Amino acid sequence: MESMKPILAVARHFTPEVNARIDRDFEPRWNPNEQPWTQDELLQAADGADAVLVSPVNKLDARFFSLLSNSVKVIATFSVGYDHIDLAAAHARGIPVSHTPGVLTDATADVGMLLLLGASRRAYEAQQRLRSGLWASSKGDLLGWSLQGKVLGIYGMGRIGQALAHRARAFGMQVHYNNRSRLSPDEEQGAVFHEDAASLLRVSQFLSLNAPASQDTRHFLRTENIDLLPAGAIVINTARGALVNDDDLITALKSGRIAAAGLDVFEGEPKLNPGYLDLPNAFLLPHIGSATVETRTAMGMLALDNIEAVLKGRPAPTLLRN
């Protein structure tokens, strides 16, 4: 008699290797559409399931957990960040939740450099002009700003922040950072520590947001902090959209107080504030920080490792604690 496979509600498709493992080891309930499941659709898919695999576009709040099927034994999110999940509500139901740290560090740091370069060298404007049949004029109206010798302030010096710092040094940037605790000298690699964020902002010609989303960091980049930055600073965000007050940043981009911004994450994504779309100095990406075949495969495999460990009663590699 063939053994029963655990039922897995799968909110999105992954790389071929991950999809093949899901089909092999589980009885999957796939999201058949490109659009994310609504919360009610996800609840329906999870009804009677053993596990649920989601991504940051799926909001798992207190309502979700109050209605979630008693059959669900574990939830895995295909992400490092977990601000889309009410951990307290999950743990009140006794449902462990896992995430995928570590495996996407380098890919996200690479996109951080892409944003620094794209924003500072006005890549979006140049692309627009070329695709419109035009060329850069002799008036210097596509002049950007060099990274060499500039101060890069990193707000949140975790794995990705440190990986970005390593790359930025190769471009000749001076790295400063603010973090909940100071790194060891080996980890700092000469970076300058600032005990408070305000001190960091005052020297950051370039600012990279790398802190996790929390009540303390929500809308960190707002007018009062933007005003602390040097005039004409450039800002990038590969962390979470909630770190930015969109209206305040858009106002600063329009006025030139902020020269340019490079954004890979947005509050409320996949929707974003439409004010960004008409700004030539906003270099925008659709949350592709981890979007390499290798990284997305590693993330998917880690998520499945966590699910299988919980279902088989083994210690899971990367469970979240409330």
**Residue of 17, 41, 125, 269 with catalytic role:** 269
Q: Please indicate whether the domains covering 7-99+292-312 and 105-284 agree at the CATH topology level.
A: yes
Using 50 as the pLDDT threshold, list the residues of the chain that sit under it.
1
The pLDDT value given to residue 173: 99
**Catalytic annotation present for 29:** no
The pLDDT value given to residue 1: 40
**Catalytic annotation present for 129:** no
Among 285, 298, 313, 322, CA closest to 116: 285
The pLDDT value given to residue 7: 98
The answer to whether 79 and 54 are in contact (CB under 8 A) is: no
The pLDDT value given to residue 12: 94
The pLDDT value given to residue 141: 83
Among 262, 213, 211, CA closest to 233: 262
Q: Which CATH class is domain 105-284?
A: alpha beta
Distance separating alpha carbons of residues 85 and 240, to the nearest angstrom: 14
Taking domain 7-99+292-312, whether its CATH number is 2.40.50.140 is answered by no
The pLDDT value given to residue 136: 77
**Catalytic annotation present for 287:** yes
Query: Could you tell me the residue ranges of all domains in the chain?
Result: 7-99+292-312, 105-284
**Residue of 29, 122, 176, 240 with catalytic role:** 240
**Residue of 29, 99, 121, 287 with catalytic role:** 287
Distance separating alpha carbons of residues 165 and 46, to the nearest angstrom: 41
pTM for this model (two decimals): 0.90
